[in-house]
Structure 1
Amino acid sequence: MQLVKGKGVVLIHGAGLGAFIWQEMKLDWQVLRINFQNRGNGPMNVGLHYQDYVDEVIQQIENWTVDQIVIVGHSIGGCIALNVAARYPERVIGFIGISAAIPKKGGSFISCFSGPKNWMLPLMMRIFGTKPPKFVLETNLCNGLKSEDREKIVSRFTYESRQLYLEDCNGSIPNCPKMYILTTEDREFDPNDQKKMAKNLKTKQIERIETGHLPMLADPKKLSYLINSFCKNLLAPPVKQAEK
């Protein structure tokens, strides 16, 4: 495939969601909204492994000709974003995590949680599968959303393979500018755990947005601003050091 000169943003959604969550975003660069496999098709992803999700994202990027990209990973998409960035070390010029899981030493998504959630989440998946009950989705995942957005998330939430959550990602931290966006009102991913994720990402650029787990729906204007500002700064010439 022949790459053409250009800059773009790859948006990787979290588990159970889809490319539709980014529709309100207004980004300055070209955008590729990733979809995981079998969106909206019920419990059909049960046989997939973590690497199958990674390969699906890579395949969609392979069909995109933009030569310089910023990878954005939301929630579990942060794990996958690490693998994608490692695949394209010369092409990825920036990395952004939004309430993102950034495992330590290539661990699993589950390993990113502290306290009871670390052992309760696998147990809940055995009982309910990978689609939580409606009231759990509305209370935790959809915290702070308008009623129409809550209904959209609940109705379109897709079962995922348990292996997506349980298998190690074995991803490495990319060697490029990085930013972590922390969602301060998050009931799905505790802000204290998010601070640990930002530390794992090895970035000092931590921005905060006063929303729940889905800022692209709760406050798309501010989230767009943060991403656009990050991308703009990538193009800024380096600051010259004053001569002594």
Structure 2
Amino acid sequence: MSGAAAHVLILGGTTEGRALAAALDGRPSLRVTSSLAGRVAQPRLPAGEVRIGGFGGPDGLAAWLRAEGVAAVVDATHPFAAGMSRNAALAAAATGVPLLVLRRPGFAPVPGDRWHLVPSLAAAAELLPGLGRRVLLSSGRQGIGAFAHLDGLHFLARSVDPPEPPLPPSLEVLLDRGPFTLDGERALLRDHRIDVVVTKDSGGAATAPKLTAARELGLPVVVVERPPVPEGVPVAADVAGAVRWLERTV
């Protein structure tokens, strides 16, 4: 593509989204806009242009792509942002704008792990009473309501911002943001007498130490499996792969 800079939209809010924006920043052949959902009060802002807030569903996103002359979209949202990924796929199909999903690999079990894979937070809540009584809930503040009916368990919920009701009756909230260290995770599990961990299969190094600490202590871990990528959309596992795709595409 020649002439004006090619406009690339990054659907971001993740470490990978920020890294991709940084990798593309300053390239005269590209104009890069990162879009953040606005669900975190003080998000880490990427390099380049930033917009915050939703588009109004797939039709709204399609209209924005047309109005802004977007040449390519990279979906670098959280692996569990299934709604946004679906909207991106529909909008890309409607406009003919090329779409790539930038998705970090999921967690991988190793010998000694006591993982229980479940398809949803509701399934995790159903399984919990048979596994423990003191729960580290590190699945994000928006999913805590799935555990609100469990009155026989104590939850330590870790999130960037305070959760909103409904909430479990016995709940302690720890406001914190990764990356987390292995020593810190060991101390957290011991100090709070945690006997079961709940996490999403978000992948990435920032939150992986809790899995190592749980393995060392022999704790069961309930892992919510990630939703699939929209059918037919290419996937890059890292920023370098996304950059190569963009170089070929725009």
Higher helix share: 1
Please say which structure displays the higher CA radius of gyration. 2
TM-score of the pair, normalised by structure 1: 0.41
Higher relative contact order (CA 8 A, sep 6+): 1
TM-score of the pair, normalised by structure 2: 0.41
